[in-house]
């Protein structure tokens, strides 16, 4: 018999889940405030004592952990074209579990260096140019980055023909840098994994700087990983299955938070019709997007600005001034919990808009071209129309009286050219176990799959 302890150090709460591999069940859960400003061990120990109260605590065989404390692993990405190398860098970074503060393209300017200083990222990803292609821009950007007083690692993943010059430049300026393979070695070809590997290594080195996290890392069976990576592992496990469990196929995970709405999609999403031509950067099988302007609290104002009052009018009859007041209040009071029918309607509306908008941005789209002989459709991005499973997570869904009604917003098409889901089974991560499942999958995929299927709640 083995007992696994799975820890998720969140920005607000440290959540613990204990799983018995013989019973194939969750035997205890607890949470406590993440005490990142003092010592993360304080919150961890509080959660552990609540998990197993009393003197006779069970023997823990393996402890695994993920973290998004202090706002997660923050970075800026730099590329040449916003639709190609900058987009490739962004996708590689998001797949590694980072939170992207800003993406720069068409060459850095001196004022961009000042802005990067203010953003205070944990890492900078520099890309640009295919191998053998444009060299001028990435070299110019590299030179400007030497003017940073901010001492953070710079990962270089651009035109490899420039690496000897960049290496000499960064060494001369005492820059902490890592060279890896080009994220886009050829036009429209994504090569993300080498960059993700470097970013994960930097994350591990960076996260143990938080007071107490080094002690926790020393007690763990594996390295701490970013929480978004753990959720992505869970999504991949559920989609692909294991050697003994059949996966459930194409899957979407919708995570609605106070500051962001994250979408994970596992599936090819390739073109399905003969008269469709795929254009643009190739889509990864496992894709993650983070919408920093779509959130229930911190980003409530930006959600209204991004989507307009008309989006609210689709779901509620409140006037525009009331909506503005409600969104502003939420952005100023992130701890607020809706306690009246009116306030719950506002929250549900915000959640529906966040889900619908985030799915629309994550999905691909068609552009129609009429030729003398036939109609051709150009597909950009991922086709989600046949994704058969959507799993919702986040407080607004978990604690909702009608989660199916809110999550169904993922199935509301904005227009016919968007390749959003059409018919899907809806599930709820009611026990908040997705990050724990992802952690467990790194050591026992079958057990993780069993637990996930046992605790995910079907809504329709």
Beta bridge partner(s), residue 250: none
Domain boundaries of the chain, sorted by first residue? 3-70, 72-201, 236-458
- Residue 452 backbone dihedrals phi, psi, to 5 degrees: -60, -50
On the question of pLDDT at 332 being above 80, the answer is yes
- Mean pLDDT value across residues 319-327: 96
Sorting pLDDT into bands at 50, 70 and 90, what band is 216? confident
Candidates 346, 366, 353, 344; CA nearest to 410 is: 353
- The model carries a pTM of 0.85
Backbone angles phi, psi at 270, to 5 degrees: -80, 170
* 146 close to 175: Cβ distance less than 8 angstroms: yes
Sequence-ordered list of residues with C-beta below 8 angstroms from that of 209, at least 6 positions apart, any chain: none
Q: Which pLDDT belongs to residue 251?
A: 96
Task: Quote the DSSP letter at residue 59.
Answer: P
What is residue 393's predicted lDDT score, i.e. its pLDDT? 94
User: 379 in helix, strand or coil?
Assistant: strand
Cβ–Cβ < 8 Å for 358, 294: yes
Distance separating alpha carbons of residues 433 and 14, to the nearest angstrom? 13
Checking if the pLDDT of 314 tops 70, the result is yes
Q: What are the counts of helices (DSSP H) followed by strands (DSSP E) for the chain?
A: 16, 19
What average pLDDT does the segment 438-454 reach?
A: 96
Do 126 and 155 form a contact (C-beta atoms < 8 A)?
yes
CB 236 within 8 A of CB 286: yes
pLDDT at 382: 92
- The CATH architecture assigned to 3-70 reads 2-Layer Sandwich (3.30)
* Closest to 422 in 3D by CA, of 437, 436, 410: 410
Quick check: 404 pLDDT over 90? Answer: yes
Q: What is the mean pLDDT of residues 405-423?
A: 88
Is the pLDDT at 37 greater than 80? The verdict is no
Please state the CATH superfamily assignment of the domain spanning residues 72-201 in this structure: Response regulator (3.40.50.2300)
| Cβ 19 vs Cβ 26: under 8 Å | yes
| Region 392-417 average pLDDT | 90
Question: What is the average pLDDT across 408-421?
Answer: 86
Rg of the Cα atoms in the chain: 23
Whether 3-70 and 72-201 share one fold: the answer is no
Q: Is the pLDDT of residue 208 over 70?
A: no
Task: Read off the pLDDT band of 297 (50, 70, 90).
Answer: very high
Could you tell me the CA-to-CA distances from 163 to 98, 281, 443, 450 in Å, in that order?
24, 24, 37, 47
Mean of all residue pLDDT scores within the chain: 90
Percentage of the chain with pLDDT > 90? 64
Give the contacts of 137 (CB within 8 A, at least 6 positions apart): 80, 106, 107, 128, 129
Task: Compute the distance between CA of residue 222 and CA of residue 456 in angstroms, rounded to an integer.
Answer: 26
Question: Which positions ≥6 away from 321 have C-beta within 8 Å?
Answer: none
Compute the 3-state secondary structure of the chain and give helix, strand, coil in percent, each to the nearest 5: 40, 20, 40
What pLDDT sits at residue 209?
67
Q: Round to whole Å and give the CA distance between 428 and 397.
A: 7
Decide: 387 and 421 in contact? Cβ < 8 Å.
yes
Q: Where are the alpha helices (DSSP H) in 68-212?
A: 85-95, 110-119, 136-145, 163-172, 193-207
């Amino acid at each position: 018999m083995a007992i696994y302890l799975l820890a998720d150090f969140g920005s607000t709460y440290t959540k613990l889940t204990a799983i018995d591999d013989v019973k194939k069940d969750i035997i205890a859960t607890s949470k406590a405030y993440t005490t990142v400003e003092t010592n993360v061990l304080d919150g961890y120990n509080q959660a552990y004592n609540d998990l197993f109260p009393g003197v006779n605590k069970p023997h823990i065989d393996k402890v695994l952990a993920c973290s998004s404390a202090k706002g997660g692993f923050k970075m800026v990405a730099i590329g040449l074209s916003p639709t190609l190398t900058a987009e490739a860098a962004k996708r590689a970074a998001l797949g590694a579990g980072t939170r992207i503060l800003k993406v720069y393209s068409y060459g850095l300017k001196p004022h961009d260096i000042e802005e990067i200083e203010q953003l205070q990222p944990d890492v900078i990803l520099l890309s640009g140019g295919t191998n053998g292609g444009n060299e001028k821009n990435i070299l110019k950007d590299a030179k400007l980055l030497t003017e940073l007083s901010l001492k953070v690692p710079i990962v270089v993943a651009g035109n490899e023909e420039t690496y000897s010059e960049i290496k000499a430049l960064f060494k001369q300026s005492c820059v902490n840098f890592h060279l890896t393979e080009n994220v886009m070695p050829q036009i429209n070809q994504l090569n993300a994994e080498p960059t993700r590997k470097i970013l994960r290594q930097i994350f591990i080195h960076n996260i143990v700087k938080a007071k107490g996290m080094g002690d926790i890392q020393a007690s763990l069976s594996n390295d701490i990983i970013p929480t978004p990576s753990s959720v992505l592992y869970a999504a991949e496990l559920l989609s692909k299955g294991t050697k003994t469990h059949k996966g459930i196929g194409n899957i979407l995970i919708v995570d609605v938070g106070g500051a962001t709405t994250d979408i994970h999609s596992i599936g090819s999403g390739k073109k399905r019709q003969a008269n469709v031509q795929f254009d643009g950067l190739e889509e990864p099988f496992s894709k993650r997007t983070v919408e920093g302007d779509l959130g229930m609290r911190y980003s409530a104002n930006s959600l209204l600005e991004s989507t307009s009052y008309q989006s609210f009018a689709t779901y509620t009859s409140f006037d525009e001034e009331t909506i503005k007041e409600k969104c502003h209040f939420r952005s100023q009071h992130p701890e607020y919990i809706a306690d009246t029918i009116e306030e719950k309607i506002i929250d549900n509306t915000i959640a529906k808009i966040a889900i619908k908008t985030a799915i629309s941005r994550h999905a691909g789209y068609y552009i129609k071209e009429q030729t003398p002989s036939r109609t051709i459709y150009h597909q950009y991005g991922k086709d989600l129309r046949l994704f058969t499973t959507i799993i919702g997570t986040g407080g607004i869904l978990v604690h909702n009286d009608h989660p199916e009604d809110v999550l169904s917003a993922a199935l509301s098409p904005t227009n016919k050219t968007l390749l959003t889901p059409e018919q899907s089974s809806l599930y709820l991560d009611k026990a908040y176990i997705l990050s724990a499942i992802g952690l467990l999958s790194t050591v026992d995929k079958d057990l993780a799959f069993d637990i996930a299927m046992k605790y995910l709640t079907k809504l329709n």
